[in-house]
């Protein structure tokens, strides 16, 4: 099956729905594809696995027909390059707090002379032996960095971050932001809602796609949360995580057997 690109999510005639993959199990990727998810973000920051497991999860995404995104552990140019070489369609870079950091994230996704990404003709993204380097570079330019803004400092710099040339998308991180702001992770606090409004406005002002998180475990609450994000201009959504989806349903089934 042809590998899907991030741009395909923007071409849908409906919102794109994804989740986070924190369990290194290709079977779960199969289930996401069967359920109709459009993408998942393989979480190499909080997931207990490295690039080897992530590469197999990207393979599962390709087989399931969903877009494989990847969250890097940090703003690490070498690591970002490895994720792209392994087949990620884009890399979510956590903890972006300045326009300079956003620019460095973008540079890490681009080959010289336009960036700092290491070049190798023997990588999975190019079929393991690239015969036409120019064509490969052109294809890889469809990939890029997604800035995850999730701290009070990042919020203060959101307008400059969103204006960074070459940035693929902006992602809001309300839970980490609530921790950063001393709100004990209360991502439903009114101050976090105001912060999300500000992030969404920055994305709109720069015609930047916005990926919005929906943490609510109950479908009705999740639908209302998505509607609120839609009103802000978001068209890409992450619903829970694989752990949330499994844990909530496991508890629901166990309660039914009480």
Catalytic residue list? 46
For residue 42, count other CB atoms closer than 10 A to its CB. 30
Residues 6+ apart with CB under 8 A from 158: 149, 198, 199, 202
d(C-alpha 83, C-alpha 89), whole Å: 9
Residues 6+ apart with CB under 8 A from 72: 44, 45, 79, 80, 83, 91, 92, 93, 94
Residue 125 backbone dihedrals phi, psi, to 5 degrees: -60, -25
Q: Is the CB of residue 18 less than 8 Å from the CB of residue 77?
A: no
Q: Which residues of 57-77 are buried (b: 16+ CB within 10 A; e: fewer)?
A: bbbbbbebebbbbbbbbebeb
């Amino acid at each position: 099956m042809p590998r899907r690109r991030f741009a395909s999510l923007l071409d849908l005639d409906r919102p794109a729905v994804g989740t986070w993959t924190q369990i290194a199990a290709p079977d779960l990727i199969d289930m996401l594809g069967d359920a109709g998810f459009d993408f998942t973000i393989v979480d190499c920051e909080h997931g207990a696995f490295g690039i080897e497991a992530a590469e197999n999860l990207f393979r599962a995404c390709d087989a399931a027909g969903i877009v494989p995104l990847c969250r890097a552990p940090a703003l690490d140019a070498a690591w970002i390059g490895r994720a792209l070489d392994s087949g990620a369609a884009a890399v979510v870079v956590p903890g972006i707090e300045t326009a300079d950091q956003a620019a460095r994230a973008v540079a890490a996704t681009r080959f010289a002379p336009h960036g700092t990404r290491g070049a190798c003709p023997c990588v999975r993204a190019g079929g393991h032996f690239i015969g036409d380097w120019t064509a490969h570079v052109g294809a890889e330019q469809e990939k890029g960095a997604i800035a995850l803004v999730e701290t009070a400092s990042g919020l203060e710099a959101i307008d400059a971050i969103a204006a960074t040339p070459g940035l693929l998308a902006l992602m809001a991180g309300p839970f980490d932001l609530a921790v950063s702001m001393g709100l004990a992770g209360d991502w439903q606090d009114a101050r976090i809602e105001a912060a999300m409004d500000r992030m969404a406005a920055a994305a709109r002002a720069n015609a930047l796609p916005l990926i919005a998180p929906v943490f609510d475990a109950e479908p009705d609450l999740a639908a209302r949360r998505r509607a609120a994000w839609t009103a802000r201009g978001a068209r890409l959504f992450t619903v829970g995580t694989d752990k949330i989806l499994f844990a909530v349903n496991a508890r629901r089934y166990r309660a039914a057997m009480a």
